């Protein structure tokens, strides 16, 4: 009972009448450039944060779990 | 990919996963939960990664899937915290002379999430439109249009008297233009 993609309504695209005037290209480019820098700055601020230890610990645990459950045998069971 | 290489690349990508996760969940703790689950999924399905393809794009796709599967559950069960976040941000930032990062983030938070995601992938992470489309599972044209709408909306929110004939936003625009000129 899935609807084939071809039957789904296409997304409405805003008509050109929504945007009466083209902005001056140079100002537009300048603002877009500044916005882009703000965006990267804001994102990079999080990227540069120190990665909390819990993530590395998690990966260690995942590795450990694999080794314990691995086919090379473990100490599980009576010794 | 050999396990040590995989692990090395995975560790290297954590900081980017955290940043990307914040574009879904503004609460840093919730964003980190997303990253943790992504790491587990990535580790367990590392055999399905094709060496030579974009590792970060592969990880981002997983994070996205994790987010949306949690999100669907949340929407059924309780009030959606991310929706509340959206609502709390529905008021544009006040203009007070300059556009700082906090204002920018607030404005970014008011964007529809699909637009914000597209903008972050292309504008902040530097993915190509094609890569972003693959991560989001949509057409390249859709990504382009989302990015464009996001940019236009940000200019609208952050104010631009030249374009909108608005008032009170002149300083913000001045600042933006000066920044742009300074390079």
Compute the average pLDDT of residues B56-65.
97
How much is the pTM?
A: 0.71
CA distance A76 to chain B (A): 22
CA distance A65 to chain B (A): 11
Compute the average pLDDT of residues A15-37.
64
Contact call for B155 and A43, based on CB within 8 A: no
- B103 vs A8, A38, B147, CA distance in Å? 38, 10, 19
Q: Is the pLDDT of residue B162 over 50?
A: no
Q: Helix crossing, B140-158 with A25-47: angle to 10°?
A: 100
Share of chain B above pLDDT 70, in %: 72
pLDDT (tens digit per residue) in B105-120: 889 999 999 999 999 9
Token couple for B70:
């949690």
Q: How far apart are CA A48 and CA B18, in angstroms?
A: 10
| Mean pLDDT value across chain A | 70
ipTM confidence score:
0.75
Question: Hey, is the C-beta of A12 within 8 angstroms of any chain B C-beta?
Answer: no
Cβ atoms < 10 Å from Cβ of B106? 18
Residue B71 has a pLDDT of 80
Hey, what domains does chain B have and what are their CATH numbers?
Answer: 1-88 (1.10.1740.10), 90-183 (1.10.10.10)
Compute the average pLDDT of residues A15-25.
46
Q: CB–CB of B68/B34 below 8 Å?
A: no
Residues of B in contact with A38 (CB under 8 A): 99, 101, 104
Contact call for B14 and A51, based on CB within 8 A: yes
Question: Hey, is the C-beta of B170 within 8 angstroms of any chain A C-beta?
Answer: no
Cβ atoms < 10 Å from Cβ of B23? 23
* Region for residue B97 given its phi and psi (left: phi exceeds 0; alpha: psi -120 to 50; beta: otherwise): left
CA distance A79 to chain B (A): 30
- To which H or E segment does residue B19 belong? helix B3-22
pLDDT (tens digit per residue) in B71-100: 877 666 555 555 555 544 444 444 444 557
């Amino acid at each position: 009972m899935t609807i084939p993609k071809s039957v789904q309504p296409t997304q409405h695209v805003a008509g050109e009448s929504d945007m009466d005037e083209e902005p001056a290209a140079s100002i537009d480019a300048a603002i877009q450039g500044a916005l882009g820098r703000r965006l990267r700055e804001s994102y990079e601020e999080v990227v540069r944060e120190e990665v909390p230890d819990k993530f590395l610990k998690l990966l260690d645990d995942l590795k450990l779990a694999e080794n314990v459950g691995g086919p090379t045998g473990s100490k599980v069971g009576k010794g | 990919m050999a396990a040590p290489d995989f692990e090395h690349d995975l560790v290297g990508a954590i900081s980017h996963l955290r940043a990307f996760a914040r574009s879904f969940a503004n609460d840093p703790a919730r964003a980190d939960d997303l990253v943790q689950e992504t790491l587990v999924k990535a580790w367990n399905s590392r055999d399905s990664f094709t060496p030579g393809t974009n590792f970060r794009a592969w990880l981002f796709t997983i994070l996205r899937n994790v987010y949306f599967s949690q999100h669907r559950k949340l929407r059924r069960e309780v009030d959606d915290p991310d929706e509340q976040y959206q609502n709390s941000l529905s008021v544009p930032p006040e203009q007070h002379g300059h556009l700082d990062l906090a204002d920018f983030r607030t404005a970014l938070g008011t964007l529809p999430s699909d637009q914000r995601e597209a903008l972050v992938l292309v504008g902040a992470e530097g993915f190509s439109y094609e890569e972003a489309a693959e991560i989001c599972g949509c057409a390249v044209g859709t990504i382009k249009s989302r990015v464009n709408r996001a940019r236009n909306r940000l200019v609208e929110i952050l104010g631009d008297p030249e374009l909108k004939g608005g008032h009170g936003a002149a300083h913000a625009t001045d600042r933006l233009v000066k920044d742009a000129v300074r390079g």
